[in-house]
Structure 1
Amino acid sequence: MRIDIITCVPAMFSGTIDQSILKRAADKGLAEIHVHDLRDFAINKHNQIDDYAFGGGAGMVLMIEPIDKCITKLKSERAYDEVIYMSPDGETLSQGVSNELSLKKNIILLCGHYKGVDERVREHLATREISIGDYVLTGGELAAAVVADSVIRLLPGVMNDETSALTDSFQDDLIAPPVYTRPAEYNNWKVPDVLTSGHQAKIEAWRFEQQVQRTKAKRPDLLKNPDSED
């Protein structure tokens, strides 16, 4: 998989890309992340990429021309499955969306900044808009990093235990069950007996029950029928 990120603040990605899952995926040759500085496509010698909004109002708007130039260059080199604009009013990122994107080959993530992008970018260049929540950030960089992490970790071979991602919260519209590790007793706080019983069927049944109960208590909106155990 290849993810190309378009941003006017490329330095924000240096630590993210060089650490953790993203670095592991790159080292294994399973994913590539390329960050493109929008100012490399500026319209003049002053590196201008933004301007005032027509009609007035506070804040600057990223211009369509630099964005179009960057996307056009990238598309001349390869085909892209999606051009995603990171937007606070896009569809909300979910595990299902991450699962879907992990099946793609090439993706562009466009980071807005200031008051966002010229609307024509959304109308003619972006194929999809994604939000990580109902709040506003200074720019789309942090949101793009979240999308990249949530997608790349799902690629086969990235995680040491490929079944790990299948048991994450939200994979089955349920929250993950509680987990414990050694010691089995600490400060008189004990691990549930079933987890040390060695009876795998009982352990799996307990975990599922915990998932359902936790989801009912914490995220009942995920359950189609909150009163059902199925």
Structure 2
Amino acid sequence: MALLELRDLKKSYRAPDGTVQVVLDVPEFTLGASEQVAMAGSSGSGKTTLLNAIAGILTPDSGSIRLEGTDLAQLSESQRDALRAATIGYVFQTFNLLQGYTALENVTLGMAFGPGPDRAFASELLARLGLGDRLDYRPRQLSVGQQQRVALARALANRPRLVLADEPTGNLDPVRALEALDMLRELCGEHGAALLLVSHDRSILDRFERVVDLAQINRAAAGAVVAGATVGGNAS
């Protein structure tokens, strides 16, 4: 059984002029346990919406998202939150670090929503990422590359079965981008976590054995507009 399985997944948003824009229309996509896959997607192709749907942050209009056989669409919001905390690690493009907390606190606070804070493991992760001497530094005291490493540690802190990464190297220079990618892939491999990473950077995509073009699996990637669809929220 696949770790992640999408079937007939659809998500639409209503534009300010009242028209309805279909952002996701994915007939099928699967990801195996421990598999590492890159997904190519240009700006506006629906990649962030897709990852947020897989993470249970937003709900699709229709279709199913099965994670280890559990359909997220059948869960309540609190159940989705609990499943995400226990099963999914998310590396956001903008890091989403808490500015008033140290690097170590950012990682341990993320653990609070899962099995509970483990300062020893959080410290170990940060040390592995070259931040052993920066545990008490706040994000503003860290370089962009160091902040990215904190985000990587936080995503892996609960030993997730699936790691989602949204343009995780987009704010880094080419050399540091490849270093961060190698660290992420290595740590996912060590912990047996599957990785789904979306990017438009060819140098990043070329380092993966399996690359999926989002435009080929998402029939709405060109931005189809329809009337009478079930919609909610704003496009992202």
**TM score, norm. by length of structure 2:** 0.24
- Looking at secondary structure, tell me which structure has more strand per residue: 2
**Structure with the greater alpha carbon radius of gyration:** 1
Higher relative contact order (CA closer than 8 Å, sequence separation 6+): 2
